[in-house]
Structure 1
Amino acid sequence: MTDKKTLKQNYLEASSRAGVYIVRNLTSKRALVAGSKDVQGALNRHCFELRTGMHRNRLLQQDWKEYGEENFEFAVLDRIKPTNDPGFDAERELQVLVALWRQEIPCQGEQGYGDAKAVSPMPACPSPTRQ
């Protein structure tokens, strides 16, 4: 049976996967800045959907087709820092980080790909990893 300390440590390690990421068109400078509870998983999903031509964001998919994979950057901008504070709200912290990064990086209107659901530098898509 797993003790409380191990469960707590597992939770803290899992929550450190949460963060803010960017998908940026290097040619047009248009960007998508969003957050996820599993930031690497979100980047992998974007990459997969773009490569298969089935991305839910039509404008992003159109640019991918026009400019090619080599003209896109996928990167983690920030991660939620693990904490032992029982009152810490990781989801709220993620929303705040996304808002801060969206102020820092032009990604709205003509400079962006629309609003990706939040809580929803590599030269190309992240390479698949085996675990």
Structure 2
Amino acid sequence: MRTRKELKEAYKQVKFPMGVFQIRNIKNNKVLIDHSIDMDSKWNRHKMELKFGNHRNRSFQKDWNEYGEESFVFNVLSELKSRDEENINYNKELETLQDIVIEELNIDSIYK
């Protein structure tokens, strides 16, 4: 049996997928584009906020209420690999990557 300290250390070594993702409404083709250093957790946070009816994006919440969860799909648009360097601001890099992805996709219908 591993100690609490060993479990904490093992958790610190886990690398979560980080990058830019979209949540697409397949009924009207509108998308919410976001980024995170832990995309799985961020996707779960969006779903929980939507299910409880308190998502910060009112337009996105309205469509979720109208069309239902089954009308939305999660897709990773670009992943960022972690590097073995110190003092990397991954959030800043992800913000830049998100701007690049939005520009490249030239999407008209973004939830703002």
- 1:124 matched to which residue of 2? none
Instruction: Give ranges in structure 1 of 5+ residues lacking alignment.
Output: 115-131
Cα deviations across residues 55-114 of structure 1 (Å, max 9, x unaligned)?
Answer: 111100111111221111112222221212346442332122111211133446xx1111
Instruction: Give ranges in structure 2 of 5+ residues lacking alignment.
Output: none
Distance 2:107 2:52 in 1: 24
1:57-76 to 2 correspondence within 5 Å?
57-76=57-76
1:1-131 to 2 correspondence within 5 Å?
10=13, 13-14=14-15, 16-86=16-86, 88-107=88-107, 111-114=109-112
Question: Given the two structures, how large is their TM-score scaled by the length of structure 1?
Answer: 0.67
Query: Contact between 1:31 and 1:106, CA under 8 Å: does it hold in 2?
Result: no
Runs of 4+ in 1 over 6 A off after TM superposition: none
Taking only aligned residues, the RMSD between alpha carbons, in angstroms, comes to 2.5
Distance 1:88 1:57 in 2: 29
Query: Contact between 2:36 and 2:91, CA under 8 Å: does it hold in 1?
Result: no
Secondary structure class of the residue paired with 1:20? strand
How many residue pairs end up in the alignment?
105
Distance 1:113 1:43 in 2: 15
Distance 1:74 1:56 in 2: 18
Distance 1:25 1:106 in 2: 17
Question: Given the two structures, how large is their TM-score scaled by the length of structure 2?
Answer: 0.76
